[in-house]
Amino acid sequence: MNFDLMRSLLIDRALRGELSSYSNSVAAEEKSLNEQKTKPFQIPYDWQWKCVADCVQFNPKVIQDDTAEVSFIPMADVEPGFVDQCSTRQTKLWAKVKKGFSRFQEGDLLVAKITPCFQNRKSCVAKNLTNGTGAGSTEFHVMRCVSGVDAKFLLFFFKSEYFIRYGVNHFNGTVGQQRVGTQDIKDCLVPVPPFEEQTRIVEKLEAAFVEIDRAEKAYEELQTLSGVLRGQILQKAIQGQLVTQLDTEPSVEMIGDAPVDVPFAIPEKWKWVKLKSVFSMQAGKFISASSIQPEGKYPCYGGNGLRGYVDVSNRKGRFPLIGRQGALCGNVHVVDGDFYATEHAVVVDCREYGDPDCVGLFLEAMNLNQYATATAQPGLSVKKIVELPFPLPPKDEQVRIVSKVKDLMKQVDALSAK
C-alpha cells in the first residue's frame, strides 16, 4: 500500500481548491476557461496564480551577535518525504557560520536544491532554532514568506508532485550534481488562496496526514505480524506439526549416515539425514553481465534471485535454488522449466527423495543465511551446507505439507492485504 501516494494526491487536491470550504462555481468556471490555456490547472475564482518570487524573499538578511550560539542544520538533518521535520541538535558560534553557509531565522523555509535531495522532498520550516537563528548547507534555497502567505501552506506546495516535476524539468548541471536554480524557483507558479483559506487547508492537510500516519503504522505492524506468522508456519511445517501423519504412508528409510546433532524432534516416520545424502547440490556457471538482458528467452538466476534473461539455459526442471553470495545469501526460490543458474546460485536436485516445493520450504525455514561467512561480501560454502541435518518426511506427506502451507499463506496474504 502506497501511503506516500495518498499524501501526494491529497496535496494535489488541496492545491486545486478541492479541500476548500467554499467556492463560487459559476465564477470559478468563467475564470478557469480564461486561464485554462495559460495556467497549470484550474483553481477557485478567489485564488490567484502568483510566482514564487511574489510570495517570498530569497536569501533574506539575518542579523545576529557574533558570540551567539545558533542552530546548524546540514542536509542530512532535514527529513525527506512529506514530513516537516529537521534536527537542531547541532549548534555553532554565529561568527563561524555567518559566512560560507546558508543563513536563516525562525519560520524561514528551507528547500533542497540538489539531486536527489530535491526529489526526496528534503524541505522544512526552520523552527526551534537556538536564539531564533540558524545556518546550514549551501544546498538549501532559503525563503521567507511575505505578508499574506502562510509558510506551512507554501511548504506543502514545495512537497507537491507538481512542484517536484517542475524542478526536475528545470535542472541544470552534470549528472549527479544537478540543481534547480534560484531563478527557476522564482518563476514557478503557485496557486495562492486567501490567507484564511491557506490556514484552513494547512489544518485539513495536517489532520489528514495524522490519520494517514496512523494507518501506515497499523499497516506496518500488520506486515510485521504477517512475517511472524509466515515464519511460524514454516517452523511448524519443518517440525512435522502442520499435517497429520497417516498410518497408510510408509516410514522413511535411513539414507546415509545419521547426523549427530539435530535441532528439534520430528515425527516417528521422518528421518534426520544429511543434505548431501539425499540431494545433489551444485552451483551454476558464470555468465557475463553483458549477456543478461531485461527480456529474453530464459530466466537467469543469481545470488538474489532473478537477474534477468539470457539466450541459453543450463538447467531444465523444477528445483529449489539457494543464493550463495551477497547480503541475502541463503534465500531460496523454487524455479521451473528451462533456466540459467549462475555461479552464485546453488541448484538443489531433490532426486527421488524430495518434492521440490517442500524441500524449498524446509530450506527457507532452516535460515541458511546464518551459515554465511562473516566477510565484506557474505557467502555460503556448498561444502558446508551439504553437511547440515535435514528432516525428511515421507514423499506423500511432503505433498500434503506443501498444500497446507500454500493454504495458510493465502490466509496470511489476505490478512495483510486488508
Encode pLDDT of 72-125 as tens digits. Answer: 999 999 999 999 999 999 999 999 999 999 999 999 999 999 999 999 999 999
- Predicted confidence at residue 348, as pLDDT, reads 97
- Predicted confidence at residue 341, as pLDDT, reads 96
- Beta-sheet pairing, 332-341 with 298-302: parallel
- Predicted confidence at residue 410, as pLDDT, reads 92
Band the pLDDT of 376: cuts 50, 70, 90: confident
- Predicted confidence at residue 30, as pLDDT, reads 47
Q: Looking up cell 561480501, which residue turns up?
A: 377
- Predicted confidence at residue 205, as pLDDT, reads 96
Q: State the average pLDDT over residues 129-153.
A: 97
- Predicted confidence at residue 4, as pLDDT, reads 94
- Predicted confidence at residue 37, as pLDDT, reads 58
Band the pLDDT of 42: cuts 50, 70, 90: very high
Q: State the average pLDDT over residues 249-277.
A: 94
Q: Is 201 exposed, middle or buried (0-12, 13-18, 19+ CB in 10 A)?
A: buried
Q: What is the DSSP string of 319-330?
A: EEEEE-BSTTTT
- Predicted confidence at residue 378, as pLDDT, reads 87
Q: Looking up cell 468563467, which residue turns up?
A: 30
Question: Is the per-residue pLDDT at 28 higher than 60?
Answer: no
Inter-residue contact 274 to 259 (CB < 8 Å): yes
Higher pLDDT, 29 or 290: 290
d(CA 214, CA 217): 5
Band the pLDDT of 418: cuts 50, 70, 90: low
Band the pLDDT of 39: cuts 50, 70, 90: confident
Q: State the average pLDDT over residues 358-371.
A: 96
Question: Is the per-residue pLDDT at 128 higher than 60?
Answer: yes
Question: Is the per-residue pLDDT at 25 higher than 60?
Answer: no
Inter-residue contact 256 to 277 (CB < 8 Å): yes
| Cα separations in angstroms, 275 against 3, 151, 366, 392 | 44, 64, 12, 10
d(CA 244, CA 410): 20
Determine phi and psi for 280, rounding to 5 degrees.
-100, 125
Range with the lowest mean pLDDT among 205-219, 244-258, 292-306, 373-387? 373-387
Inter-residue contact 343 to 286 (CB < 8 Å): yes
Question: Is the per-residue pLDDT at 415 higher than 90?
Answer: no
Per-residue 3-state assignment (H helix, E strand, C coil) for 261-300: CCCCCCCCCCEEEEHHHHCEEEECCCCCHHHCECCCCEEE
Band the pLDDT of 408: cuts 50, 70, 90: very high
- Predicted confidence at residue 35, as pLDDT, reads 53
Question: Is the per-residue pLDDT at 229 higher than 90?
Answer: yes
Band the pLDDT of 32: cuts 50, 70, 90: very low
d(CA 71, CA 51): 30
d(CA 75, CA 171): 19
What's the whole-number average pLDDT of the chain?
92
- Predicted confidence at residue 137, as pLDDT, reads 96
Inter-residue contact 278 to 405 (CB < 8 Å): no
d(CA 317, CA 300): 14
Question: Is the per-residue pLDDT at 237 higher than 50?
Answer: yes
